[in-house]
Amino acid sequence: MLESLSERLEGIFKGLRSRGYLRPEDIEATLREVRLALLEADVNFRVVKGFVGRIRERAAGQEVLQSLSPAQQVIKIVKEELTELLGGSQARLTLSPNPPTVFMMVGLHGSGKTTTAAKLALMYRRQGRRPMLVALDLRRPAAEEQLRTLGAQVDVPVALAEGLREPAQVAQKALKEARAGGRDILIMDTAGRLHVDEALMRELRQIREACAPHEVLLVADAMTGQEAVNIAQRFDQEVGLTGVVLTKMDGDARGGAALSIKAVTGKPIKLIGVGEKLEALEPFHPERLASRVLGMGDVLTLIEKAQSAYEEQEAERLAKRLLREEFTFEDLREQLRKLRQMGPLENLLGMIPGMGKALKGVQVDEKELVKVEAIINSMTPEERRNHNLLNSSRKRRIAMGSGTSVADVNRVLKQYLQMRQMLKALKKGRGLRLPKILPF
C-alpha cells in the first residue's frame, strides 16, 4: 500500500536524520524532494503546493530550528500535515436512528462497486446487524445474478427487480421489503458505465430522490490516481456524494487518489478495499495511513484484525492449554487458520514498524501455510494430539496423503517442537528465541 511513495519519503527523511543541526537551506532541500516524491506519486499539483507550503511555514518557526532534535520535529510536522491531507480524523458511516439505513453505492464500471456492496454487507452482518442488498443495474446482463451469488456467500438476502424496469421503482420496492423484514441496512448497488454520461447521472438522481439515502458512496479504483479524483468531482457535482470508498488500495504503490481526493472534493474517504477477499474492507483512518506511509507501521489496525479473528473465550481457552503445555497440532492448525483470516501476511508484516523495510525484497509464500495445514490434516486425530506417535511409516503415509515429502513432514514436526519449547520457556519466564515459522 503506497509502497513507492513510502520508500521515497523514508529515504528523504533518513538523510535528514543524519544531520544534527538543520539550516533553513537543509529544510528547503528536503521540501523540494518531498514535493517531487508527491508529484511522482500522482498527487494533484495544487494539493502538493499547499501541502509543502504549510510544512515550510511551520518548519521555519522556532519549534524546529531551536529543537534538540530538529529532524524529528520536521518529520512530526510532515506526519501531522499528511494526516490532515488524508482527512484529519476518521469519517464514520452515518447510521440512521430510524432503520433501515440506506447506502447508495455509485461509480464507474470496473471500480469494484458490486463486490464492495457485498463486503459492506458482510462487515455489518458481523457486527450483529441485518443488512439487505439490492441490484439496481437493470441493463447489464447478469448484474442481479452476480449480486445474488455474492449475497449467498456473505449470507445476506438480495431484493429482486421481479419485472420492474425502472431502477428507482426497484429501490422503493427494496426499501419497503427491508422495512417489512426488519432489515436495518439496505445497500443499493447502482449501475455503472465505462465513463460518466448524462443518462447514468439522471438515473442516479432519480434513485436518490426516490429513497433519500443516508450515504451516497463513490466506489473508486485507487490505482487510477488523478482520474479517480476527477471522477469523484463529477459524481459529486451531478449526484452529491457523502463519502468515498477507495478499492484496490493494496495494489496502489503511488497514492495519488488517497492523498488528493479529500483536498480536491471535500469528501472524506470512509472505507478502503485492501484485497479481493470479501473480508478485505476496512474503515479508513487518516493517521494510521500517514504512519504507514512514513514507515512508522500501523499497530492499531493489526491489533484490531487480531481481535476480530480471535474470540475472547477462545483466546482464554488456548492460553490455559498453553500453560498446561497441551499445545497440539490441532491447536497449531487452528492458529494458522486464524492467521490467514487476518489477511495477506505481507500486509500484516507491513503494519509492524520497521518490518516493511526489513523485509524488502523478501517473498512471503503463503502456500507454505497451506502445505503445513495439509500435512496436519493428513494426520489421524490421535497423531495430531500426540506427536510422539509419528514414526517413519506414519510420516510416509502423511506425506503421501498431503501431496508432500517426508522431509516436509519432518520440517513441520521440527517447527512444532520448537514452538512447544518456546512456550515452555515462556511459562518459566526465560528469554525467548523465536523459531523460524513464517513462510519466507
CATH of 3-85, one of 1.20.120.140, 3.40.50.300, 2.60.40.420, 1.10.3470.10: 1.20.120.140
For the ranges 220-224, 259-263, 270-274, 418-422, the lowest mean pLDDT is seen at 418-422
Q: Where are the alpha helices (DSSP H) in 297-402?
A: 299-309, 312-323, 329-341, 345-350, 355-358, 367-377, 381-385, 392-402
Question: What letter would DSSP give residue 87?
Answer: T
Q: Which of 195, 236, 243, 234 is CA-nearest to residue 215?
A: 243
The arrangement of strands across the sheet holding 243-247 comes to: 158-159, 131-135, 185-189, 101-106, 215-221, 243-247, 269-273, 281-283
The arithmetic mean of pLDDT across residues 9-30, rounded, is: 79
Residue 49 pLDDT level (bands cut at 50, 70, 90): very high
Q: Which of 251, 249, 233, 250 is CA-nearest to residue 241?
A: 233
Are residues 222 and 138 in contact, defined by beta-carbon separation less than 8 angstroms? Answer: no
What is the C-alpha separation between 390 and 396, in angstroms, rounded?
A: 10
Residue 319 pLDDT level (bands cut at 50, 70, 90): low
Are residues 120 and 271 in contact, defined by beta-carbon separation less than 8 angstroms? Answer: yes
The arithmetic mean of pLDDT across residues 262-272, rounded, is: 93
Class of the CATH domain delimited by 302-428: mainly alpha
Does residue 30 carry a pLDDT above 70? yes
Are residues 392 and 336 in contact, defined by beta-carbon separation less than 8 angstroms? Answer: no
Give strand pairing partners of 218.
106, 244
The arithmetic mean of pLDDT across residues 299-312, rounded, is: 52
What are 176-225's pLDDT values in tens digits? 999 999 999 999 999 988 888 888 999 999 999 999 999 999 999 988 88
**Burial (CB count within 10 angstroms: exposed 0-12, middle 13-18, buried 19+), residue 127:** exposed
What confidence score (pLDDT) does residue 208 get? 94
What is the C-alpha separation between 186 and 177, in angstroms, rounded?
A: 10
The arithmetic mean of pLDDT across residues 9-25, rounded, is: 77
Amino acid in position 351: M
The arithmetic mean of pLDDT across residues 355-371, rounded, is: 60
* 101-293 belongs to CATH 3.40.50.300: yes
Q: Where are the domains positioned within the chain?
A: 3-85, 101-293, 302-428
Q: Which of 154, 224, 234 is CA-nearest to residue 189?
A: 154
The arithmetic mean of pLDDT across residues 383-407, rounded, is: 92
Are residues 261 and 244 in contact, defined by beta-carbon separation less than 8 angstroms? Answer: yes
Q: What does residue 433 show for φ and ψ, rounded to 5 degrees? A: -125, 110
What are 92-150's pLDDT values in tens digits? 999 999 999 999 999 998 889 999 999 999 999 989 999 999 999 988 878 889 999 99
Q: What percent of the chain has pLDDT over 70?
A: 79
Are residues 63 and 50 in contact, defined by beta-carbon separation less than 8 angstroms? Answer: no
Which grid coordinates belong to 434?
523465536
Look over the chain and give the mean of its residue pLDDT values, rounded to a whole number. Answer: 82
Are residues 197 and 155 in contact, defined by beta-carbon separation less than 8 angstroms? Answer: no
What confidence score (pLDDT) does residue 351 get? 53
What Rg do the C-alpha atoms of the chain give, in angstroms? 26
Does residue 413 carry a pLDDT above 60? yes
The per-residue DSSP string of 159-188 comes to E--TT---HHHHHHHHHHHHHHTT-SEEEE
